[in-house]
Amino acid sequence: MFKVFSDWYKRKFSNPDSATLLALILITVSSIVFLGNILAPVIVAIVLAYLLDWPVEKLNQLGCSRILGSAFVLVLFIGLVVLVSLVLVPIVFKQGTNLLKEMPAIWAGSQQWVLMLPERYPELIDGDQLHKMWQGANDKIVTIGQEIISASFSSLLNLAALLIYLILVPLMVFFMLMDKHELVDNVSRLLPKERRLIKQVGNEMNVQITNYIRGKVIEIIIVGTASVVTFALMDLRYALLLGVLVGFSVLIPYIGAAVVTIPVAIVALFQWGVSPEFWYLMIAYSIIQALDGNLLVPLLFSEAVSLHPVYIIIAVLFFGGLWGFWGVFFAIPLATLVKAVGNAWSESSSIKNDEEQIQAE
């Protein structure tokens, strides 16, 4: 068994390039795991700088200086964030608050409907067992509510940290955009000379993630807008809130669409009951999801992330379990990184085997 592992290790990592790539991955992962809280503003700034670098490069190609392009793009980005925060967020927050106020009525109506099931189907449903299950669900809801209130109070203590983010992160993003080439050169000097696989993985990741982010932004806008317009035309309550949720649900493939269906169906059921309007809405919602999965996604991501759906779901579960929301948000880019690293190591070992066979001949 040890010999099998030893042979595998020699085949994969005896190449200096492979060893350098492995060392870089271990150092990066260890830094995030053990110093993640301290380095969080830096990581956020790096991610934002990476996302905003493309328009800065385009402006630079058009003759705009790096410093002016960086300032313009950053100010434009901050302006868009502020605009969305002042226009969209208050409406969504208000609708979310109203929905939370109606949740007890929705829950009571659901309870009444569920507890009537034993009378309608006495041969299939045990009334006592159903009462016990519903009581357990009520207790669980109370516990979750208490946890949410506790989390809300604890989040107030992080207000100072939020202010630090609002000041430090934009400054770091600006300097990272302005001095990108100098910073990249400084990091390159720290790396060993044997970094062919690092460049290969970096180039592949750059193309894949750029296409993925661009496609996801377009998909969120199209799906979210189509959902808001559809819900508003059908006079569904909380149309903007639910439409925004549907738009952002595309960030989590397969799982997001399934989860966001629940609040849409609950609101429609509470508003109209099991009526033709309810079924019309669910049919329209299903059409939006079908067009997204079968038309929009193939058009936007035909050359982006070529991952099997099983791998995507595993990545969402794995990275979500490690890092919560951010793990889910970056699950597909991280899965793409894992795939790129695996491809690089496989190609490296194949090249080495070919060289050994040539030498043997």
Q: Give CA–CA dist 162/168, Å, rounded.
A: 10
Number of domains in the chain: 2
123-175 residue pLDDT tens: 666 666 666 666 666 656 656 555 554 544 455 446 666 777 778 888 999 99
User: 358 in a domain, yes or no?
Assistant: yes
Same structural domain for residues 141 and 255?
Answer: no
Q: What is the pLDDT of residues 191-243, one digit of tens each?
A: 777 667 777 777 767 777 777 777 788 888 899 999 999 999 999 988 998 99
Q: What is the mean pLDDT of residues 304-312?
A: 67
What is the token pair recorded at 331?
């699950």
The answer to whether residue 5 is domain-embedded is no
295 and 277 in a common domain: yes
Task: Tell me, yes or no, whether 280 and 297 share the same domain.
Answer: yes
Measured distance CA(204)–CA(207) in Å, rounded: 5
268 with 335, same domain: the answer is: yes
Same-domain check for residues 183 and 228: no
Same domain (yes/no): 329, 360: yes
- The region of weakest confidence among 7-11, 189-193, 228-232, 250-254 is 7-11
> Angle between the 16-61 and 196-233 helix axes, to the nearest 10 degrees?
50
pLDDT score recorded for residue 12: 57
Q: Give how far Cα 116 sits from Cα of 130, 138, 174, 212, 227, Å.
A: 10, 17, 61, 48, 33
Q: Are residues 282 and 209 in the same domain?
A: yes
Last residue of a domain, one of 177, 193, 209: 193
Same domain, 200 and 110: no
Instruction: Say if CB 286 and CB 259 are below 8 A apart.
Output: no
Dihedral angle at the C-alpha atoms of 41, 45, 48, 52, nearest 10 degrees?
160
pLDDT score recorded for residue 7: 59
The answer to whether residues 229 and 286 belong to one domain is: yes
Residue 2 domain-assigned? no
pLDDT score of 194:
63
142 and 222 belong to one structural domain: no
Are residues 148 and 229 located together in one domain of the fold? Answer: no
For tokens 């983010």, name the residue.
165
Dist. CA 307–CA 314, nearest whole Å: 11
Of 143, 175, 193, the residue at which a domain comes to its end is 193
Domain range enclosing 280 = 195-361
pLDDT digits over 258-276, tens only?
888 988 998 888 888 878 8
Quote the CA–CA distance of 94 and 330 in Å, as a whole number.
Answer: 29
Residue at a domain's end among 193, 221, 241: 193
Q: What is the pLDDT of residues 10-53, one digit of tens each?
A: 555 556 666 676 777 777 777 777 776 777 788 888 888 888 88
pTM value > 0.75: no
Give the single-character DSSP code of 191: S
